[in-house]
Each structure stands twice: as C-alpha cells, then as structure tokens.
Amino acid sequence: MKSPVRSTSELAAALGISRWTVSRALNGHPGISPETTKRIREAARRHGFAPSVLGRGLRTGKTTIIGVCLPDLVDYFLTSKISRLQDAIESRGFHPVMQMTNGSEEREEAALANFAAMHCAGVISIASKLKPTNPGLRGLDSSSISVVKIDPLHSGHIRVVASNRVLAMQEALTHLHELGHRRIVALGIRPDTAYGQQRVVGLQTACQKLGWKWKRDVQLLNASVIDDDFDAGAALAKEYLEQPTPRARAIVAINDRVALGAMRVLQAHGLKVPKDVSIIGYDNADFSPYAAPSLTSIDPQVSELIDAAVALLLDESGRKKAPSTTPTLIPTRLVVRDSTGA
C-alpha cells in the first residue's frame, strides 16, 4: 500500500514536477495551464491530500479563506445568495468559511474577531447590523483584511454593494401607473427601517415623476406587523379589507411572502387578482411563478449583486479602488406576471 501524501513536496515528487507548480495549482494562482491544474488536483484527491490553508496563513500572514457573515437565512432570503457566493469565491481559488449570526450584533462581532484570528484574505458581511463606527469593523477595514458589505442596515459604510431599492419602487409604481392605477397600498414597508426607508424614497420619487400626491395616493400599511412573512401578509390583507371604499386597487408588498399571504386572504374574501386588485412582490422568489395567479415581482438580481461584491473584494480592479462610502448599486428588474392588470 502506498504511503499517504502529507505535503506539497511529496505530491510533487509523486508527480515528477516542481513543488512550486503544485503549490500554485492547488492555491488557484494563474500561470498554470488548466490541464496541469486538473492533473495535480485529481492526484491530490487520489492521495487524500489537501493543503492546510491555516498553515499557509501562519507562514505568509494571510490564507485563502474568505469569511462570510450571514444573518437569518429565511428573513433575508439568502439561499440563492449563498450558493452563488460560494461559487464566485471558489472560482477565484479561495475558500469560504460561513458563520451564522442570526441577526445578533454580538455574534457578528465574534465572527469578525474569528476571521481576523484566522488571517482571512477578506470578509463579506451580508445585511450587517453593525454601525460603521464598530471597533471590529474599523479594525478590519484599517488592516490588510478588507470587508465588503452586502446590503448593510446602516449607511456610511465603506466597500458596500447593495440592491437599488429606490429604483425598484420606481419600476413598480411606473408599471402600475401604465396599467391605469393612481393609488396604491404599500404592505409592510416601514420608513423606520433601512430597507424600508430606501423604498419610501423610491415611491416618493416615482410620485413626483408621475404626478401623484404622496400622502393622498400612497398608503403605508404596516402598524401591526413585525415579521415580513406569509402570516404578516395575511394580517395586513385583513387590515386592507377594513379600509373604507373605494380602496386603492393596487398593492406593493415588502416581499413575495407578504404578497402571497395577502393574495390568499383577498381571494378568500371574494376579490379577484388582478381584476379587483393588482399585487407586486419583491425578491422574485422561486415560488412566485407558481402562485395562482403568478406573482409579479421585483428581482434584486442576486447573481449580479454577489458577483459585484466578490469582484470588489478579490479582483485586482476591486483591490485597487480607494475605499468609498458611495455604494455600488445593482439595478433591479421588474418581472411582470399575471398578478398585475389594468
């Protein structure tokens, strides 16, 4: 039985090539042909050998690890983002290490401290609750470990990539306006939250462009709701039904779950979608095309969002950019389906 390979030197000797070539191929560096890289990695798998990224960090002062801070997966609809993020990081020869914070600032601070101790090559934080003045963030930002924030909950951060929620609301209102609507109810959009405030700005901007009156033609319905889920949509739909007639005949929801929860209640009370009321969601969730009727929704362009964040962190052009508090905004896309009509 062959002895196991325990180092890049032993793997190089087994293949009859230089240790330098083996090391660069395993670490994803350019300059090695795809054929050679494939041969080396397949040999490493056969011999059960994997280089120690932590050991490399102790030698060089930095690993190929990318730390990723994740909040609650359901509330922030992160499943597709995680898959895309992992692919984008690994395609550049780095290794993601993900830590759930469950929306806790303390856990996020602890994760940042762990990533610093691991000599990560960089950190990506999704929906960070930390303020720009947080010592952990400032310490990483001022060191050689860059942190890119995707959709942080506070303004003033550097290296930010975010969905353009202002544009999203303009797209939604313009679509409804073209269908003949002149009043809407916004479900779950709260001006006292970071994402809600961006949406409110978008709705106000659209009102100005379309000739609508903000307080007269747009109603924010959210007083009794905390979570943004199906049950919240159902509860808000009941409040909508209690409104004096004639009610606004168009709804823009904070997300697709709220939109679908509202749709089911409205239909149960005899309203037809979109004949009696049009509904627009947000997220373009996997279930949206299969709702009855299929749900018109705003697609936040997850692939573009993730790719821009990883490029800002890992690509040469991104590393050369001076840190800025001006976010990189990713345009959204309105996906029109059957839940909106004249």
225-253 pLDDT, tens digit each: 667 889 999 999 999 999 888 899 999 99
**Buried b / exposed e along 50-71 (16+ C-beta atoms within 10 A):** ebebeebbeeeeebbbbbbbbb
Using the predicted structure, report yes or no on whether residue 39 has a pLDDT greater than 70. Answer: yes
* Look-up of token digits 């929620």: 165
pLDDT for position 194:
86
Q: Which has the higher per-residue pLDDT, 322 or 213?
A: 213
State pLDDT tens for residues 276-334.
999 999 999 999 999 999 999 999 998 999 999 999 998 876 666 777 888 999 999 99
Angle between helix 19-26 and helix 34-46 axes, rounded to 10 deg: 90
Mean pLDDT across the stretch 25-33? 71
Predicted local confidence at residue 76, as pLDDT: 56
Q: Give 111-131 pLDDT, tens digit per residue.
A: 998 888 888 889 999 999 999
CA distance 285 to 295: 9
Greater confidence (195 vs 51) lies with 195
Residue with tokens 């490029």: 311
pLDDT at 271 over 60: yes
Residue 193 confidence (pLDDT): 85
Q: What span, in angstroms and rounded, lies between the C-alpha atoms of 284 and 276?
A: 22
The fraction of the chain above a pLDDT of 70, given in percent, is 87
Q: What is the CA radius of gyration of the chain?
A: 24
pLDDT classification of 1: cutoffs 50, 70, 90: very low
Does residue 52 surpass a pLDDT of 60?
no
Strands of the sheet containing 160-163, edge to edge, are 95-100, 65-70, 122-126, 146-150, 160-163, 328-330
Say how far apart CA 276 and CA 285 lie, in whole Å.
24
What average pLDDT is seen over the chain?
87
Given a cut of 50, whether residue 220 has pLDDT beyond it is yes
The C-alpha atoms of residue 96 and residue 108 are separated, in whole angstroms, by 16
Q: Rounded to two decimals, what is the model's pTM?
A: 0.79
Number of other residues whose CB lies within 10 A of the CB of residue 235: 20
Please name the amino acid found at residue 165: R
